[in-house]
Amino acid sequence: MTDNVTIIRLTAAETAEKIASGELTAVQVAEAHLARIEAVDEKVHAFLHVDREGALAQARAVDEKRERGEKLGPLAGVPLALKDIFTTEGIPTTVGSKILEGWIPPYDATLTKRLKAADVVILGKTNMDEFAMGSSTENSAYGPTGNPWDLTKIPGGSGGGSSAALASFQAPLAIGTDTGGSIRQPAAVTGTVGVKPTYGAVSRYGMVAFSSSLDQGGPCARTVLDAALLHEVIAGHDPLDSTSIDAPVPPVVEAARNGSVEGMRVGVVKQFRGEGYQAGVIQRFDESVALLKELGAEIVELDCPSFDLALSAYYLIAPSECSSNLARFDGLRYGLRVGDDGSNSAEAVTSLTREAGFGPEVKRRIMLGTYALSSGYYDAYYGSAQKVRTLITRDFEKAFEQVDVIVSPTTPTTAFAIGERADDPMAMYLADLCTIPTNLAGNAAMSLPCGLAPEDNLPVGLQIIAPALKDDRLYKVGAAVEAAFVERWGHPLIEEAPSL
C-alpha cells in the first residue's frame, strides 16, 4: 500500500502510469491530494474552492474505465489545480474578485472541457490576483497566497495559487494564464515549471478576459515532461475562439522526452540584465548559460533595443483592453448587485456595484485604460504603444533569424515579502520586466528552475523563449537543462522542498 506522502511526491507521468497499471487507484490519488490540501492549505491559501465531491466522482469514473479494460489517456486520474479564471459548470468562478463572488457558471470553458475529456481530476479553483491583474496574488479579494518556500513571501502572480499548489504538493499539475508573465513569474519564484504557449494555441473560450490580445492559458507542473503532457491535452484549435490558431499542436511531448541542445543556437539578450537584477539571479542565469554551452549549444549575444520599451507599452495596451473587457460587469446581468432597492437608476446601480466589487488595482487599470483610449489621447498613448509592440515583434523576428531560442532570467529578483511592494505599483510591475516582451509578440515561453539564489536560498527561474508555433523547442531545451540540473545538483524543488 503506497502511503500519501509518497503519492503526492510522484510526478504526473508517474502517477498516470501507476493508475493505468492498477498499482494505484485514481480515488487513492485524489484522496491523498485532498488530505494534503486539508493539512496545509489553511497556511498556504492556494485554493479558493475545493471540489471534493466532484474530484472523487471524476476519480471513480477513471477507476471504472480501467476496470472495464478501456484504454486510459496519458493523464487519466491525475489531479489538477485550476486557476479560478476558467468557467466551471456547477462550481464557483470568481476571478479573485468580489464582483463575481458566489457566481456559478452554467457552462465549462473549452479548456475545462478538454481536461475532463482527458480524465484529469480537477481538485478545485486556485487563488489569483483579481482579474489576473498583479504579480503577487496580493490583489485577490480573498486574501494573499503564501509561497511554500517561505510563507511570508509572495508566490508570484497573477497565478500564485496554482504555483503554490504545485510547490506545496497539493497537486502535481495546475493551469495558469499569462497576460504579461502570470504563468512564468509564479513558476520562477516557487521553483516550478510554467509555460506560456504561442498566443492562440490554447482556447480562451470561457476564460474571463483581462486583455484579449495578450491573455493565454497554459500548463504548470513540477517537471518539463509533466508540463508537456498537460500542454498536449489543453492545446488545439477551437472554433468557439476567434483568436484560436487552426494548426497542429507542436510535438511537445516527444520534445520533452528527447531533450537536447546539441547544435542549437541560443540567444542571450543584453537588455535582460543590468540595474535592478538581484546578484544571485544573475549568477544562476550565467551558470545556466555556461551549462547550455557545455551541452553543445552555441551562445549568441543579441541586442533588442525595443525591449526596453516593453513595460511602458504593456501598461498602456493591457489597461486599455481591460477597461473595455470589464465594462460587462455592470451589476445588471450576473454577479454582485449593489443599490438595487428601487431608489436608484440602472446607472447608479452599476456605479455602486463597481465601487463595491472592484479592488484598487482593477480600478487603477480601468482608469488608466479609459484615459488612454479617450478622445484626444488615443493616438498619443494607445496608438504609440501599438507601434512599440510592432517594433518588439520585429526585434524578435530579427533575433530568431540568428538563434533557435532565447534565454533570460524569468524575473529580476527572487520572491519578495508579502506587503513589500503593495504601495509601490511601479516596483510591482517591474517583476514582469523579462516576461512582458513575449506576450506583446505572441511567442511561446517557459520558465523552469535553475537553482536557488545564494543570498536568500529561494528559487530562481530560467526563461526560454521560442518563435510562435515552435513550442516544442521550449520542451526540447527545457528537458535537456532540467536533466543536467538534476544530474549535477538535484531538482531544486524535489530535493530541497520546503516543509509545511
Active site residues: 83, 158, 182
CB-based contact 126:85 (threshold 8 Å): no
The CA distance from 247 to 250, in Å, is 9
Rounded to 5°, angle at Cα 443 from 441 and 447:
120
- Specify the pairing of strand 444-452 against strand 459-466: antiparallel
CB-based contact 126:159 (threshold 8 Å): yes
The CA distance from 198 to 245, in Å, is 9
The CA distance from 48 to 130, in Å, is 12
CA 195 to chain centre: 7
HSE, side-chain direction, 13 A CA sphere, residue 39: 14
C-alpha cell at position 57: 466522482
CA distances 164 to 127, 251, 268, 335, Å, are 9, 28, 29, 27
CA neighbor of 162 nearest in space, from 181, 178, 141, 183: 183
Q: % helix / strand / coil in the chain, to the nearest 5? A: 45, 15, 40
CA 145 to chain centre: 15
End-to-end CA distance of the chain: 24
Q: At what angle do helices 224-234 and 12-21 cross, to 10 degrees?
A: 70
HSE, side-chain direction, 13 A CA sphere, residue 172: 29
What φ, ψ does residue 219 adopt, rounded to 5°?
-85, 145
Q: How many residues does the chain have?
A: 500
CB-based contact 214:180 (threshold 8 Å): yes
